[in-house]
Amino acid sequence: MNKKALRADILLLLTALIWGFGFVAQRSGMEYVGPFTYNALRFCLGSLSLLPIIFYRAKKNPTKNRGVSGKTFFLSSLAAGTCLFFGVMLQQLGLMFTTAGNAAFITGLYAVLTPIFGSFWGQKTGRWTWVGALFTLVGLYFLSAAGNLHAINVGDILTFMCAFFWAAHVLLIDRLVLRNDPICLSAGQFAVCGLLCFPFAFLVEPRINVFIAGIAPSLLEKGTFAWQPIIDIAAGFASTSAVDMVNLLIPILYGGLASVGIAYTLQVVAQRDAPPAHATIILCFEGCFGALGGVLILAEPIGHWTLLGFALMLVGMLLSQWEVIIKSRRKEVV
């Protein structure tokens, strides 16, 4: 392996680590702000964090994006941002009920769903994709039901639904980047997603609190249900203690700057030199890092059924990409 490929693999591993621990930040953030508020803040921040890169690239190569019309960029950002919004909305709501480790692995199902969805657009879906899908579904059963079908976690179901939107988002981006600069498109879609979250933060979150207070008020005392609606946070902002402010800002800054800005940039840089097989395998370990972060930081329990589910899902993700890995290996040999 040459030095460039080794450096790219290290950057991809760092990307997977940042994204994996991002699930910990997403879950921790909801101890202070609601799910829609958290996503609104982190995606707007993530969009802003890409602006320096965009300005730098524009200064370095002023003619690079002149062929893209404002209308094309706006519609592309709107389409991708709307799809992203539904994905992160379901993911964040799911994290209120499930662990960071579960959410990280179940979200990774998009690696299996993407080639399956692609078959409806004329893309060939090989037999290894279907074998991988079978492994991930069996793993999902052990992960969520823990050997008891009646014990399926509602948070896992919501996260499973979000994986469908992530898969659709991958296919959508695959088409949109043909007409848009990828980093500009990312900034645009992040901005759209963040702005779409704000109305829900003001209109829906207070109703969620009222609903929870009516059925189980004890849930509002701690954990991922302890957040306050954005209106109440704004009203009591001046009296917020410094400790609470720091605890609130850390997951938001991590989610916006690290998970979105830094990790996305690392991925773009790394995949210039990383063989597709390397990228496929390394990024699949995002779920492993999410589970590790949940154990180390949030003290989430992991039983034998959960570990079995993790293992089966990871194998399934890798098997679903097996043909890509084999093709890439053959090219490296040639």
With b meaning 16 or more CB within 10 Å and e meaning fewer, what string describes 148-166? eeeeebebbbbbbbbbbbb
| SS3 state at 33 | strand
Of all residues in the chain, the percent with pLDDT exceeding 90 is: 24
Average pLDDT across the chain, whole number: 81
d(CA 334, CA 319): 23
Is-contact 270 12, C-beta < 8 A? yes
d(CA 155, CA 123): 32
Class of residue 176 by CB neighbours under 10 A (exposed 0-12, middle 13-18, buried 19+):
buried
Tokens of 177: 């980047």
Using the predicted structure, report yes or no on whether residue 298 has a pLDDT greater than 80: yes
**What residue spans define the domains of the chain?**
3-222+240-333
Instruction: Kindly state the average pLDDT of the residues 305-332.
Output: 72
Using the predicted structure, report yes or no on whether residue 66 has a pLDDT greater than 60: no
pLDDT at 92: 92
Instruction: Report pLDDT digits (tens) over 124-133.
Output: 667 777 787 7
| SS3 state at 96 | coil
Side-chain-side CA neighbours of 84 within 13 Å: the count stands at 27
pLDDT at 79: 95
pLDDT at 176: 87
Instruction: Report pLDDT digits (tens) over 131-143.
Output: 877 887 787 777 7
pLDDT at 308: 85
Tokens of 84: 């992203």
Using the predicted structure, report yes or no on whether residue 147 has a pLDDT greater than 60: no
Tell me the angle at which helices 242-253 and 3-29 cross, rounded to the nearest 10 degrees.
140
Tokens of 11: 């950057």
Instruction: Kindly state the average pLDDT of the residues 51-71.
Output: 77
Read off the DSSP letter of residue 95: T
pLDDT at 244: 76
C-alpha distances (whole Å) from 273 to each of 9, 14, 279, 330 are 9, 15, 10, 17
Side-chain-side CA neighbours of 69 within 13 Å: the count stands at 3
C-alpha distances (whole Å) from 188 to each of 20, 39, 175, 181 are 23, 15, 15, 10
Confidence of residue 17 (pLDDT cuts 50, 70, 90): very high
d(CA 291, CA 298): 10
pLDDT at 75: 93
d(CA 152, CA 237): 38
Read off the DSSP letter of residue 181: -
Is-contact 27 100, C-beta < 8 A? yes
Tokens of 238: 């001046």
| SS3 state at 255 | helix
Element (H, E) at 69: none
Instruction: Kindly state the average pLDDT of the residues 89-110.
Output: 87
Please provide the DSSP assignment of 200-259 as one string: HHHHTHHHHHHHHHHH-GGGGGSGGG--B-HHHHHHTGGG--HHHHHHHHHHHHIIIIII
Using the predicted structure, report yes or no on whether residue 83 has a pLDDT greater than 60: yes
Amino acid at 307: L
Amino acid at 103: A
Regarding predicted confidence, which is higher, 290 or 142? Answer: 290
